[in-house]
Structure 1
């Protein structure tokens, strides 16, 4: 997986401080130890110290050079609790609510990011996606220039049968259910920037539809066309095709027949799906039938990175997401 190796090397060149809040899970600890030892991130573990140390001992995992923040005893407790109350008081939070919620490791971890005591967070091996995303939105918040927070998967192609080796961005496959044209345009812009950062190449964006160049007429097609036109207005130098079918987006010969004036020319590396339903089905089909490696869902549009994991993730998956999160910190700082 040369692309992933490149991401890891880039993260190693500028390691960020990444906080992990499910630190009594052996998968998390194994990935954290590896990330710390390989120099891709400075790791903060959040949780009950006794439980973390017991898990590490049971599984033969070294905690050397990693910081443990126990919400019950942390020197930062007063700071992050006060910041939580200030942040959520307009939503009705009372001091006793803040004192209770800050003891949740996910909340504590994201408040470390909010208070600039960590650069990014990774969770989801135990917490649900809904909990991870909700907490990130509430406590870290949108980037100042972001219209919305969305998600993407980094899809890696490294098997012998894959037509080419490398990576693609699939968005949005995990968060925004039925974006309108303006939201879809924002998703496409964010995904293009994610491609620049992670694929280390210029994005070639396909706005996917069941139509190519107006071959079908339907409000769902109109939405995709309008979104693509908005992106073109905002990013005139971006290679993007509007209302294009998947085969024309990925196969140059088909693109030449269906869309002779294509800007992407059948070589898309960013696929923008019109709905969450389409995107979620597509990434799972690519993963299970095409044997692509899916990393994510990764979030885009936040003030600072906070990424999700699948609850079925492996230690290798977590290690990869730590590296990506570390790299993302440099595009949001």
Structure 2
């Protein structure tokens, strides 16, 4: 069973309430049609029902009417969310009148539905820049307890016959968000990525903290950062199977791992690779993708208090469907279902 077949079945067993704030965007509507038809999630559109249904009719979509619809301009619906946003941001000087204006923005209203317990997750970005999606999520949802940073992971689907990885997969992070994490942030990225490995890849996480050194083979302040981040992560989550600093070959090649770190529980069997900076992670995932023909699922945003994922504005319908499925599984993992 492929990754997405497994994730789809799990989502169908535990349907989540997913907000789509860009309610009239054609690719989003086409993706929602497939999600509703296959009973993968309960869809919540933010927009005028009659306008959304008119767009769906133009596209020949039959299932959109099964969704729930909320109009951001309907003050009888939005008032409680305005009050919630005012309470959340009053220390920043936000007044109720300010909040009433803010909740007209579907990105904020979607996050507020989640914060109020009226939805489980959100996918946006087909029309909105990443900064707008993340700003709403940060201001309303914030991060998980013990996590101060949001990061982005990719699940690398390795080509058939590849001798590395776990069940044909490796998880890379951070490849999308934090340019130069501190040692504390790097530790938090490792913990968050381990959860992604478990909840989305379906693997027991074995985490390697990557560097250009293995167990002191080189001396540099950047090596020190990775080594110290590893210790911080161990203290924060003693159950985590993690080791570092470690070179990438020592992390995934059993013979090299046995040679360079013979007493390590991670060396040679890592399935979760934490890169020391955004540039290394981003370069690595793109090289693996292009040179080996591996699939790259992501970026999967991790660390937020509830699942919100951002789409590329060039996303295809398939991309949106897959992002929705991943996001629903993040919500299921948060509930330990």
Could you tell me how far 1:293 is from its partner in structure 2?
A: 2.2
The answer to whether the Cα contact below 8 Å between 2:171 and 2:271 also exists between their aligned partners in 1 is yes
How do 1:251-270 and structure 2 match up within 5 A? 251-270=253-272
How do 1:1-333 and structure 2 match up within 5 A? 2-62=2-62, 63-73=64-74, 75-157=76-158, 159-160=159-160, 162-163=162-163, 166-333=168-335
Could you tell me how far 1:273 is from its partner in structure 2?
A: 0.9
Distance verdict in 2 for CA 1:54–1:152, change over 3 Å: same
Distance verdict in 2 for CA 1:313–1:166, change over 3 Å: farther
SS at match of 1:289: helix
Question: Residues of 2 paired with 1:30 and 1:163: CA distance?
Answer: 37
Could you tell me how far 1:243 is from its partner in structure 2?
A: 1.3
Could you tell me how far 1:196 is from its partner in structure 2?
A: 1.4
> For each residue in 1:83-123, what CA deviation from the matched residue of structure 2 results, as whole angstroms up to 9, or x when unmatched?
12222222122333222221111111111111111111111
> For each residue in 1:25-56, what CA deviation from the matched residue of structure 2 results, as whole angstroms up to 9, or x when unmatched?
22211111211221221000113445422331
Question: Residues of 2 paired with 1:69 and 1:246: CA distance?
Answer: 48
For structure 1, which segment, 309-318 or 17-26, has the greater mean C-alpha deviation from structure 2 after superposition? 309-318
Which runs of at least 4 in structure 1 moved beyond 6 Å after TM superposition? none
Q: CA RMSD in A?
A: 2.0
For structure 1, which segment, 90-99 or 181-190, has the greater mean C-alpha deviation from structure 2 after superposition? 90-99
> Structure 2: 5+ residue runs without aligned partners?
none
The answer to whether the Cα contact below 8 Å between 1:16 and 1:42 also exists between their aligned partners in 2 is yes
Question: Residues of 2 paired with 1:288 and 1:257: CA distance?
Answer: 29
SS at match of 1:64: helix
Aligned length: 332
Could you tell me how far 1:166 is from its partner in structure 2?
A: 3.0
Could you tell me how far 1:246 is from its partner in structure 2?
A: 1.5
Distance verdict in 2 for CA 1:162–1:309, change over 3 Å: farther
Distance verdict in 2 for CA 1:61–1:74, change over 3 Å: farther
